[in-house]
Structure 1
């Protein structure tokens, strides 16, 4: 059952004086995150592989009254991560927030996926998150007054997705790193959370069930409630509010969580846990496992994959 927010005045989310890096923020979700952080008062380092795209995005934030600079570099290496942190410090004097949004896709089914397909996606999503988070954590611990690591995951990393061995594995790793780092960095006052967004992007708008609604949205029509609420599917701007919240003092006690957002829906994803157990005196044999599986722990197997959209009946 959906939970209603507790009535009462909303706390102010003010990031004045804070400095953030958002990787892969030249367009799409990354740009929405960077724009929302700037609107809340943070200075932002906009990152993109394409220098022209990064500069344009940063200029747009500045034109709207925010503070932003661009740094064009492909995330993945330690050198790239160090460049981003150095850019934040040289431009704005410190670093308080890191959002690891940069990513690419190389979708193939397992038997057609090449080493290059796999490595490119894992290097950007998983290694890129690791190297950027490490560099940011070093700087934040040196500063001594806490910080925020906001990692970007995906429903594919939570449940798997057909044709996305590389992407799903990397995003599952991102969620695992967030849980680990939330423990390691707690004493330093650094929170670590994973955002699991669902929005109309270049990837999701190719889903046949969503395509006509996304096309209508591009022409100015609102998305219907069955998408915004039922599927938690909306615009990139719908996902953006979560990032300044997690970056703020209002979320100082939120760490180690995977938080979903999209359309009108906000959700907390569960951590993996044992959901059924059985015991055999003296331990299990292949034969006793075979005899017990379907009547004990395997009686209700877990589902896999991102659920298909539930469209209204014509």
Structure 2
């Protein structure tokens, strides 16, 4: 079940994960609109896709503004005649703790990740609904949006917001035959390259060697290509019944994340007063409190970063 005849937009696809998504979609037969803020990077991505026998054009612009979303959809329709798949991957980081985070740090990340996803999908859906052929919306999330991460207030807010939008879009777009899903990748990228815990895996990937099984299997941490297969699958007719999902992927592992659900429920006639909560919290609720942040197993000795 190939993607022959399909047309895809992939934001932030000049390099890294986005480029892997664009190349995999093209490999499966889709024509691709590549997007990056750097013209040379975008041109190189298009050239790589074309050299492998695919079809691609580039839109050089930052995501966030409605004008960019319009340019992306126009490029798809004008160049290839239709639009079937949208992958919102573009992103930036401005990591710092809450009390040091500036308005610009916060606004920049929200604008690219959250607003960029919103404007791109809104414009695409307007076209898809009018065309009447259905469609596939694939938004990129993060474990940080699911569990939080130190120093990433802005990024966590954006990625959690994307999940909320996707769940809503799955409801709103069902009648039009348009699916909406979130992919949560865990892979060697420029972002994870700075994390000492992943250093051995990132180094192996950069050298073109096999990634150690501890990372691929135990952590579900792999290469960009390990994620790209899921993106292409969600863009296909085979995934017509998959919508509103948050799917984690990396290395040898795929996970479907649950909705947030109540961990415990208790009732008290007349309601829960301050005094009742003070008295009953330790026995009724304390045992159900949830963890925050990601928890990784101890790094095996052979993968420990060298002492400086």
The CA distance in 2 between the partners of 1:20 and 1:275, in whole Å, is 39
Aligned to 2:16: 28
1:100 to 88, 99, 114: 88
Contact 2:188 2:201 in 1 (8 A): no
Is the counterpart of residue 152 in structure 1 residue 136 in structure 2? no
Cα deviations across residues 248-277 of structure 1 (Å, max 9, x unaligned)?
A: 111000000000000111110111111201
Deviation of 1:206 after TM superposition, in Å, equals: 1.3
Task: Give the superposed CA RMSD.
Answer: 1.0
Q: Does 1:248 align with 2:256?
A: no
Extract structure 1 runs of 4+ deviating beyond 4 A: none
Shift of 1:145: 1.3
Tell me which moved more, 285-294 or 126-135: 285-294
CA distance in 2, matches of 1:132, 1:312: 42
**Matching of residue 86 in structure 1 with residue 79 in structure 2:** no
Find the partner of 1:259 among 247, 250, 263.
247
**Which runs of 5 or more residues in structure 1 are unaligned?**
1-11
Moved more, 288-297 or 214-223: 214-223
Separation (CA, whole Å) in 2 of partners of 1:95 and 1:221: 37
Instruction: Tell me if structure 2 keeps the 8 A contact 1:26–1:54.
Output: yes
**Which residue, 269, 285, 303 being the options, matches 2:257?**
269
Shift, 1:313, TM fit: 4.9
Does residue 26 of structure 2 align to residue 38 of structure 1?
A: yes
Q: Is the aligned partner of 1:181 residue 2:184?
A: no
- Could you say which residue in structure 2 is the equivalent of 1:3? none
Query: TM (normalized to structure 2)?
Result: 0.96
Match of 1:118 in 2: 106
Once residues 209 and 74 of structure 1 are traced to their aligned partners in structure 2, the CA distance between those partners, rounded to angstroms, is 31
- Shift of residue 213 of structure 1? 3.1
Q: Is the 8 A contact 2:24 2:229 kept in 1?
A: yes
Query: CA, structure 1 residues 249+219, in 2 after alignment: closer, same or farther (shift >3 Å)?
Result: same
Match of 2:36 among 48, 69, 76: 48
Cα drift, residue 309 of structure 1: 4.5
